[in-house]
Amino acid sequence: MTRKPFTEHTIFDALTKHLGVSYIFTQTRSLILENSAESAFTSQNLTCMSEEWITQRYEAALEANTNLVLQLVGEIPETENRLAQALAKLARQFEFEQLVDLAEPLITNES
């Protein structure tokens, strides 16, 4: 007897066939909007903050310091709530590479 990986669709079809149940699949609009809003952020969205703040957040992301990133995100004005939420979500999901990539174009490399 060999076992194969099953897709959700196959399992739900079997349940429908044997139990006579049916499933309604929907995706909420807010989830779609949330995902597209996050991907729409660019480095320019960070320009509402000071260069010092951007540098601090960049360095915190390089160090993978979730607490410091979240602390700095807390300094974002309420008028930029979507930006704050998106950055906080990236930090909580340990997406530090994305956080670094957002700030990198704005950081001046002065040695």
Q: pLDDT tens digits for 61-72?
A: 999 999 999 999
Q: What per-residue string of b and e applies to 61-76 under the rule 16 or more CB within 10 Å gives b?
A: beeebbebbeebbeeb
pLDDT tens string 16-54: 888 887 777 655 444 444 444 445 678 889 999 999 999
pLDDT tens string 77-95: 999 999 999 999 999 999 9
Nearest-CA neighbor of 84 among 51, 31, 48?
48
Q: Where are the alpha helices (DSSP H) in 40-78?
A: 51-62, 66-73
Reply yes or no on whether the pLDDT at 104 is more than 50: yes
Q: What is the pTM of this model?
A: 0.62
Do 54 and 48 meet the contact criterion of CB atoms below 8 Å apart? no
